Amino acid sequence: MKFPRRGLYAITQPEHRTIKQVVKDVEAALRGGASVIQYRDKNPLDAPQLASLLLEVCDAYAAPLLINDSIELALAVGADGVHLGRDDGEIAEARQMLGPNAIIGVSCYNDVEKALTMAAAGADYVAFGRFFPSGSKPLAAPADIVSLARAKQSITVPIVAIGGILPENGGTLLAAGADLLAVIGGVFDHEPEAAARAYQALFNHQPE
């Protein structure tokens, strides 16, 4: 499955939720138009089971499921790819383990040079953030829109923006060069289908 060129990139928020509720919420976000789902779970109880169920739902909506942090879990459940943070392994390792068709994304924070290097090394997308105060990533270093605009001028793979993004401020990031908006609480702290539709509406006002 290919990584989309634009759209809502919804990241799970499993804390204090049952597996059944997480799957239900993700399906609601997909109904609302989410283009990508990332399974992120800092305190997993049964990650293989939940990831497998999420993969079934994502397949039904033809949306890729990416696993945060764990190449091993992505391989075990047959997910569409992996998202690598600062200490989560190398692109070459992920490519070797997951194969040539896997989607591999990389966090680049506010570092355009790193993003260029990662894209050249085979990343399918690069992620910048956080752009706004974030409940999910309160200690993350801030990123700025100037870097996003610089990246857009020189990077050909899709650019994902993350961090405190709301329907009210996401349009600014799209105008600056983001292709996808990655959202956790903005989707899953609310009714996920309606929230996803609110984010998707932002893309209707941006040129292709």
Catalytic residues: 40, 107, 137
Q: 40: annotated binding-site residue?
A: yes
Q: 88: annotated binding-site residue?
A: yes
The percent helix, strand, coil of the chain (3-state, each to 5) is 40, 20, 40
Q: 107: annotated binding-site residue?
A: yes
Report the C-alpha gap between 157 and 155 in whole angstroms: 6
Q: 114: annotated binding-site residue?
A: no
Q: 39: annotated binding-site residue?
A: yes
Q: 31: annotated binding-site residue?
A: no
DSSP string for 168-188: TTHHHHHHHT-SEEEESHHHH
Q: 152: annotated binding-site residue?
A: no
- The one-letter amino acid at 133: P
For residue 69, what are the CA distances in angstroms to 8, 103, 107? 20, 13, 10
CB atoms within 10 A of CB 25: 21
Angle, helices 19-31/192-203, rounded to nearest 10 degrees: 30
Q: 42: annotated binding-site residue?
A: yes
Q: 197: annotated binding-site residue?
A: no
Q: Name the binding residues for Mg(2+).
A: 69, 88
Q: Name the binding residues.
A: 38-42, 68-69, 88, 107, 134-137, 164
